[in-house]
Structure 1
Amino acid sequence: METTPDQLKILSLDIGGSHIKGTILNAKGELQKAYEKVPTPVPASPENVIAAIKKLVIDFPGFDRISVGFPGYVKEGVIKTAPNLSNELWKDFDLAKKLEEELGHPTKVVNDADMQGLGVVRGKGLELVITLGTGFGTALLYNGNLLPHLEFSHQPVGKVKSYDKYIGEVAIEKEGYKKWNRRMQKVFEVLKTVFNYDYLYIGGGNSDKLTFKLDKNMKIVSNADGIKGGTRLWVNDLIPESTEKAVKAKLK
């Protein structure tokens, strides 16, 4: 029997520099099981990461589609860069195709910040989503639709090679949270000037380490908020247009 859109179950995966996380979502973006994670393997080669994913999901309930957030530049499911993993080993690796072969279900792969953005935005105006984790991720959406992904984290800042190095995990370990917070205040000023966003969402494992007051149009979001993006990757394709608005409303 063919699965109808409202019966859809989606395996949603978030591949990070330190952990690979996963859960099962329904068509409304609701978790169907607890969020689980395994350490990101070292070296983080495609083969090792896929093996870790298979280990993670071995006891998961059934699913029909797969959504993956990946920490790098992704084009039509193919990895172009993976700066916080084993970068050269990932170049031009078709992760969507390989996971579809290994797990047996249609798969979509996008940048991890893009997937989180789909899960947290209000869908009104220009919205910027950033992730503060091993590196620095960004996603830009207009009226709820993803705009072309920009690897803003690779831009140089001051005397530092990139934003990844300036405010990523390495910077925290080297400089401490007090100096990192001062740097984050400077970064927010840059983001306001460059993007002129209507709203900014801040996710990632280090977002709760911010100690200064945020502007009224800034909000810290959790992984649980962002995981809904795994459903939204499929909503437009699989849900009839007549019900699409209702489903999107329930995802907010």
Structure 2
Amino acid sequence: MRRVYHVAKFYTMETTSKQVKILSIDIGGSHIKATILNKKGELKMDYDKIVTPAPASPENVIKAIKTLVKDFPAYDKISVGFPGYVKNGIIKTAPNLSTKLWADVDLTKKLTDALGKPTQVVNDADMQGLGVVDGKGLEMVVTLGTGFGTALLMNGHLLPHFELAHLPVKAGKTYDKYIGEAALEKEGKEKWNRRMKKVFEIMKTVFNYDTLYIGGGNSDKLNFKLDKNMKIVTNADGIKGGARLWLADEESVTKRKVSTPTT
């Protein structure tokens, strides 16, 4: 059963230490970013990054993460945003890394064993959504990067994840192919922006959201005026969602098994 995360009220976390520290990791198609958060989602250090390895196999990505965080301050828990469909911490698709390499990989367990701390893994747009929303009404988050990430939350509750990036939008092209990084590089900024206007109109019509948050590395390339209920957010804002994965049990609508280190 998929855990429902709630961000509208203050949350606590169990720990034997006086101050919980969460290692929050964002795995992207071009870079892997990480920082340390406190339980309120406040950054305790600037986030650092490393180039995503090629090929981006589970083994290579975990090795890169270990290299990235080896000099980080101590942490108690780990939160990971992954660019693909994630079910109960297990990777199902990884279109921008290689689904063939990642299908059915239990990244939660692998990272728990590699880094020695309890770990949770969710879709990267879902984690960004947890970090940026206000918890009021239907809020949608899209990420413009290597691909097109999406997340939906209702009154702060993370709704079931849909990989909208793989829906066709025009002439057999999926959203990933229509507005992803490769399309931006091939078609140029002006044509890409015209496409983004069309995509935003579709999102507005289909979802009738109260607020749309726009993140990802290419969000700063948008060159047209946004509606009042559309906001650009940063990767630093989104990575704060890593703290909100660790809700106390009494604040969770459902529960999921959290991987703990193998002894």
**Same fold by TM-score, threshold 0.5 exceeded?**
yes
Deviations 1:169-191 (A, max 9, x none): 00011000000000000000000
Deviations 1:80-126 (A, max 9, x none): 00000022010000000110011111100000000000000000000
Map of 2:147 onto structure 1: 135
Map of 1:185 onto structure 2: 197
Q: Aligned equivalents of 1:100 and 1:74: distance in 2?
A: 16
Map of 2:110 onto structure 1: 98
* Aligned residue runs from structure 1 range 225-240, under 5 A: 225-237=237-249
Q: Aligned equivalents of 1:216 and 1:6: distance in 2?
A: 41
Q: Does 1:72 align with 2:98?
A: no
State the AA in 1 paired with 2:109.
K
CA RMSD, 1 decimal: 1.5
User: Residues 236 and 125 of structure 1: is their aligned pair in 2 closer, same or farther, counting only changes over 3 Å?
Assistant: farther
Q: Aligned equivalents of 1:4 and 1:124: distance in 2?
A: 33
Q: Aligned equivalents of 2:215 and 2:17: distance in 1?
A: 29
CA contact (8 A) 1:160 1:166 kept: no
Q: Greater relative contact order: 1 or 2 (C-alpha under 8 angstroms, separation 6 or more)? A: 2
Q: Aligned equivalents of 2:17 and 2:81: distance in 1?
A: 22
Task: State the number of aligned residues.
Answer: 239
User: Residues 6 and 144 of structure 1: is their aligned pair in 2 closer, same or farther, counting only changes over 3 Å?
Assistant: farther
Q: Does 1:86 align with 2:98?
A: yes
Where does structure 1 differ by over 2 angstroms across 4 or more consecutive aligned residues?
2-6
Q: Does 1:49 align with 2:61?
A: yes
Higher share in helix: 1
Q: Aligned equivalents of 2:174 and 2:17: distance in 1?
A: 42
CA contact (8 A) 1:27 1:235 kept: no
> What is the TM-score with the length of structure 2 in the denominator?
0.88
User: Residues 51 and 144 of structure 1: is their aligned pair in 2 closer, same or farther, counting only changes over 3 Å?
Assistant: same
Map of 2:71 onto structure 1: 59
* Aligned residue runs from structure 1 range 1-252, under 5 A: 3-4=15-16, 7-237=19-249
Deviation at 1:34, TM superposition (A): 1.4
Unaligned runs of 5+ in 2: 1-13, 253-263
Q: Aligned equivalents of 1:167 and 1:150: distance in 2?
A: 17
Q: Aligned equivalents of 1:163 and 1:6: distance in 2?
A: 45
CA contact (8 A) 1:6 1:27 kept: no
Query: What SS class does the counterpart of residue 181 from structure 1 fall into?
Result: helix
Unaligned runs of 5+ in 1: 242-252
CA contact (8 A) 1:204 1:223 kept: yes
Deviation at 1:4, TM superposition (A): 4.8
User: Residues 112 and 240 of structure 1: is their aligned pair in 2 closer, same or farther, counting only changes over 3 Å?
Assistant: closer
Q: Aligned equivalents of 1:103 and 1:123: distance in 2?
A: 32
Q: Aligned equivalents of 1:174 and 1:192: distance in 2?
A: 26
User: Residues 113 and 5 of structure 1: is their aligned pair in 2 closer, same or farther, counting only changes over 3 Å?
Assistant: farther
State the AA in 2 paired with 1:175.
E
Q: Aligned equivalents of 2:201 and 2:15: distance in 1?
A: 47
Stretch of structure 1 that moved more, 208-217 or 157-166 = 157-166
What is the percentage of aligned positions where both structures have the same residue? 75
Deviation at 1:160, TM superposition (A): 4.0
Deviation at 1:3, TM superposition (A): 3.0
User: Residues 196 and 19 of structure 1: is their aligned pair in 2 closer, same or farther, counting only changes over 3 Å?
Assistant: same
